[in-house]
Amino acid sequence: MELASKYSPAQVEGKWYQYWMDNKLFSSKPDGREPYTVVIPPPNVTGVLHMGHVLNETIQDILVRRARMEGKNACWVPGTDHASIATEAKVIKRLAEQGIKKSDLTREEFLKHAWAWTDEHGGIILKQLRQLGCSCDWDRTAFTMDEERSRSVIRVFCDLYDKGLIYRGLRMVNWDPERQTALSDEEVIYHDEHSHLFYLRYYVDEPAGSTDGEEADAQVLSATEPFDPTVKHQIIHRDAQGRRYAVVATTRPETIMGDVAVCINPKDPKNTWLRGKRVIVPLVGRVVPIIEDRYVEIEFGTGCLKVTPAHDVNDYALGQKYDLESIDIFNPDATLSEAARLYVGMDRFDCRKQIVKDLDAAALMEKVEDYDNKVGYSERTNVPIEPRLSLQWFIRMQHFADIALPPVMNDDIRFYPPKYKNTYRTWLENIKDWCISRQLWWGHRIPAYFLPNQEDVPDADRQYVVAESIEKAVEKARQLKGYENVTADELIQDEGALDTWFSSWLWPISLFNGINNAGNEEIRYYYPTSDLVTGPDIIFFWVARMIMAGYEYLGDMPFRNVYFTGIVRDKLGRKMSKSLGNSPDPLDLIDKYGADGVRMGMMLSAPAGNDILFDESLCEQGRNFNNKIWNCFRLVKGWTVDADAAPTEAAATAVRWFDAKLKQTAALVDDHFSKYRISDALMAVYNLFWDEFSAWYLEIIKPAYGCAIDKGTYDVTLHYFDCLLRLLHPFMPFITEELWQNIEERAKGESIMFQPVSVIGTDADESLIRDFETVKEIISDIRAIRLQKGIAPKEELVLEVVGENKMSAYNSAISKMANISAINSVSEKSPSAVAFMVGTTEYAVPLGNLMDVEAELKKLNDELAYAEGSLRIVMNKLNNANFVSRAPEAIVAAERKKQADAESRIASLKAAIAALQS
């Protein structure tokens, strides 16, 4: 077989993926084997592969492939998520480009467009996963809005409603004015913002010049005097006309049209004079009461808080407590509504600018301060959210928090890294009800049906039934008094859709149809799944809620282990983003370096839980490694084999040593995997292949040019190669399959995918490994001498061992690797020899006239100084009575051995120096 000197992944990867597919090697069905199940975190159906996916999916594929090789029935279920809000946004954008507004379409028409979009762009990402080598069981590909999943979602909604865990209510929710829908708390992202604190005048509703008794001990400020919030006595403001006013600080002056009260703290000395009064909302002219509540911070601003129940969560609470009116001054798109009376139709931010001008002009603006505060943004549309009172559907979460917290805290479900247990606990201990309704069309429509003829009833009080289908809804409705003859046409289904995460939280169950067909064979076999690989950013969105649903519906955990990946950043530590343009296209990388190279590049720098600073050069390292593997294979397969020859002594030694090394590393890799230290596992195999196998083993057994290799060594080398490929396969599936198939003739349908790493669990000969490390050191030292003295590798040298040659078993290996013609045991080294020490043994290479006495003396003296230094440190310890008496015996003995070694080393160094000087 002719093999190119450079490995080209492109010719290999597609071929083997097709082979795996053709032979259905990824497919899984319940059987007698131990299951190993992973459900993919479903990417957005219309999404495309980005570096975050590459990281996440590579880790999953590594785990799945490894489990499969271990003989488990590995099942990796792929699928996509309908991504309600994101997809709807994309569809709306495309419609807009065609000049169509969403509001011009019926729900059905819009959904037709949405499905068209999904069919057109959907599943691209799944195809891309194939290029990465992901070994998903594609026959199981699911979609959160496919038939089975949709039925599961609706059924669960109805069930939770029947259990009283879902309710409909008028609440202050996070409103996304761009998409015009409610969001859950988790979908709001807070950003620091430089803004302003506006101090507004609220005149007291009284005749100019009014006073009351309290004014005697008050400080009266004119309009021009600065206000000091730390003052501990009453402060009364008067303008030039003698009118008194309160000063209210706000970041959102545009909401004054919704003001219904001003609140002070009853303990605030500054503002006691306002007690019981009424003030006039600036510009608006509405007279509102002063109310008192401990909620108000005395020290903040002026201690006066404007109360706008419709547009602030806390104000809403105050409104409820004091039975205040709620004036919603915004339309759903956050323009000013009729109810605002002023600025009607203006955008909220334009309004802020305008109202500031108008307040100024009307002398109602006391002052403006710079102020940093946090503003909530919609996770998906990135517009500031508006707290908005609206009728939504909620899940009572306390019940779910109660069932989901213990299994994580007591490690039934393990988090890697475990630090996320804290995050998880904090969230569950402060759980809030989950707003699950969205004012969107793309998603699972809420299965609530309103009864007819309720036009006069306020929204919140309208009667409805919740049922899995319209037929069942009719049945239920007919049981209600007055609706005995209601028909399907008369029932009006809730317009809203469910939060996407309401379907995602069922994913590990619904994929095996465990809701619709509870207790079926698949759910019994595959559930609980084994490992979940995901980012910590969705620990609340998804991980926690899957745990909740798992215990609620199957009474068991959805997965045993959760591996949290980091966030992929660029090498400067910046988050990868489209706008920065710092996110490489994974497919370009695959073109350039091969999927195996990209996978390796990703894994080389991916400790669990830490952010990953991705650098393309890591893929290059991956590609180079592929090339290395390729060329090792070329080398070995290029040898001619002599069936009758006996192995050389050097080869026989190397074979024994590598057997130990292979076992040792396999055990190490296994240990790393058991701790989910995947990059460490990869690095261990990398070192084994490149350093131990290629640089040492192969170089030792390599026959001289033109010579054949003995069959015994050749066969065992192929066996080692096979073992190495198996260790590598989870990380680099393509090249390992290609080479494994070429080690020998394989039957059709056979694959490395199912070959166990059989050396795991067998003991390695540790002393052999230690000896060989010594041998390597001897060889390296000789090579270093060659480099220093400019002696060509081809020129043969003699090695002298002063005293007994404890490594004589390795003579032939040393001779070959360091090009040594003879190894002699001597009692005293030759005068012209350059010496070096390995352990306590002195070695020397006679150099004749190449010997540089001065340089050699300097080197020996440096070494002597170092040895004497270490002896001093050891002696300090040993001369310390406390150390000798209190430290464990073994430690003391070790120090004594160090002392002896150092002394013998010093002695031989001194002797060597003396010999040179004579």
Q: Please name the residue that has the structure tokens 């020397």.
A: 844
The correct pick among 131, 211, 694, 904 for binding RNA (CB under 7 A) is 694
Considering the complex, state which of residue 153 and residue 248 has its C-beta at the smaller distance from RNA.
Answer: 248
167 near RNA, rule: CB under 7 A: no
- Binders of RNA among residues 37 to 96 (CB under 7 A) are none
Residues 630-649 that bind RNA (CB under 7 A): 631-632, 634-635, 638
Least distance to RNA from the beta carbon of 5, Å? 4
Binding mask 480-509 for RNA (x = CB under 7 A): ------------------------------
- Peptide bond between residue 647 and the one before it cis (omega within 30 degrees of 0): no
Distance of alpha carbon 763 from the chain centroid: 36
Q: Is 133 left (phi over 0), alpha (psi -120 to 50) or beta?
A: left
Which pair of tokens denotes residue 442? 């793309």
Return the DSSP state at 432: -
Nearer to RNA, 755 or 819 (CB): 819
**Between 105 and 878, CB nearer to RNA:** 878
* 302 φ/ψ angles, rounded to the nearest 5 degrees: -105, 0
Among residues 252 and 726, whose Cβ is nearest to RNA? 252
Of 110, 117, 464, 540, the one binding RNA by CB under 7 A: 540
Where are the alpha helices (H) located in 729-842, listed in sequence order? Answer: 733-743, 766-789, 811-818
CB of 631 to RNA, least distance (A): 4
- The verdict on 718 binding RNA (CB under 7 A) reads no
* Ranges of H-type helices in 23-75: 51-69
- For residues 424 and 431, give the distance between their C-alpha atoms in angstroms, rounded to a whole number: 10
Structure tokens at 874: 């050891």
Q: 292 pairs with which residues across the strands?
A: 264
Please say which residue, 341 or 677, places its beta carbon nearer to RNA.
677
CB of 499 to RNA, least distance (A): 16
| CA–CA distance, 732 with 752 (Å, rounded to integer) | 11
Helix H segments across 133-263? 147-162
Binding segment for RNA (CB under 7 A), chosen from 203-211, 341-349, 479-487, 536-544, is 536-544
- How far apart CA 737 and CA 753 sit, in angstroms, is 8
CB-wise, 155 or 702, nearer to RNA?
702
Minimal distance, residue 417 CB to RNA, in Å: 8
Which two structure tokens, joined as six digits, stand for 438?
A: 């969205």
Pick between residue 613 and residue 857 the one whose CB is nearest to RNA.
613
- Identity of the residue, 467 or 724, whose beta carbon is nearer to RNA in the bound complex: 724
| Choice between 123 and 417, CB closer to RNA | 417
CA–CA separation, 619 vs 595, rounded Å?
9
Q: Is 115 in the site for RNA (CB under 7 A)?
A: no
b/e string for 439-459 if b means 16 or more Cβ within 10 A? bbbbbbbbbbbbbeeeeeeee
237 touches 270 (CB < 8 A): no
Stretch of residues binding RNA (CB under 7 A), selected from 69-77, 300-308, 338-346, 795-803: 300-308
Binding residue for RNA, selected from 131, 210, 251, 331, defined by CB under 7 A:
251
Considering only the stretches 15-23, 67-75, 298-306, 361-369, report the one whose residues sit in contact with RNA under the rule CB under 7 A.
298-306
Residues 6+ apart with CB under 8 A from 808: 823
Q: Does 691 bind RNA (CB under 7 A)?
A: yes
Minimum CB–partner distance for residue 183 and RNA (Å): 13
Handedness of CA 634, 640, 642, 648 (dihedral sign): negative
* Alpha-carbon separation of residue 903 from 637, 879, 887, 899 (angstroms): 50, 16, 22, 6
Q: At what angle do helices 766-789 and 811-818 cross, to 10 degrees?
A: 30
Stretch that binds RNA, among 324-332, 510-518, 546-554, 687-695 (CB under 7 A): 687-695
Minimum distance of RNA from residue 204's CB (angstroms): 18
Map tokens 């809701």 to a residue: 515
Question: How far apart (Å, rounded) are the C-alpha atoms in residues 698 and 691?
Answer: 10
78 vs 177, beta carbon nearer RNA = 177
Residues within window 555-594 making contact with RNA, judged by CB under 7 A: 571, 573
Segment 847-906, which members bind RNA (CB under 7 A)? Answer: 877, 880, 882-883, 886-888, 890-891, 894, 897
Nearest distance from C-beta of residue 309 to RNA, angstroms? 13
Instruction: Please measure the distance between the N-terminal and C-terminal CA atoms of the chain and give it in whole angstroms.
Output: 61
Closer CB to RNA, residue 63 or residue 200? 200
Kindly state whether residue 687 participates in binding RNA, applying the rule CB under 7 A: yes
Do 877 and 835 form a contact (C-beta atoms < 8 A)?
A: no
Binding mask 431-450 for RNA (x = CB under 7 A): -x------------------
Only one of the segments 92-100, 470-478, 778-786, 859-867 lies at the binding site for RNA (rule: CB under 7 A); that segment is: 778-786
Q: How far is the CB of 637 from RNA (least distance, A)?
A: 9
- Binding positions for RNA, 391-430, rule CB under 7 A: 419, 422-423, 426-427, 430
SS3 633: helix
Stretch that binds RNA, among 239-247, 284-292, 359-367, 782-790 (CB under 7 A): 782-790
d(CA 427, CA 543): 12
Tokens matching residue 705: 């040019």
Cα 454 off chain centre by: 49
* Of residues 304-343, those binding RNA (CB under 7 A): 304-306, 312-314
Contact pick of 356, 645, 683, 826 for RNA (by CB under 7 A) = 683
Task: Give residue for tokens 């053709």.
Answer: 22
Q: Which residue, 100 or 538, has its beta carbon nearer to RNA?
A: 538
Site string for RNA, 370-389 (x = CB under 7 A): ---xx---------------
Angstrom distance (rounded) from CA 146 to CA 77: 15
Strands lying side by side in the sheet with 529-534: 414-416, 559-564, 529-534
Burial class (CB in 10 A: 0-12, 13-18, 19+), 598: buried
Q: Does 185 bind RNA (CB under 7 A)?
A: yes
Which of helix, strand or coil describes residue 159? helix
Structure tokens at 53: 């996916």
Using CB under 7 A as the binding rule, the residues of this chain from 587 to 626 that contact RNA are 604-605, 607, 610-611, 613, 617, 621, 623-624, 626
Q: Count of residues binding RNA (CB under 7 A)?
A: 85
The one among 13, 57, 81, 186 contacting RNA by CB under 7 A:
186
**Residue 752 beta carbon to RNA: minimum distance, rounded to whole angstroms:** 20
CB of 454 to RNA, least distance (A): 34
Shorter beta-carbon distance to RNA: residue 36 or 415: 415
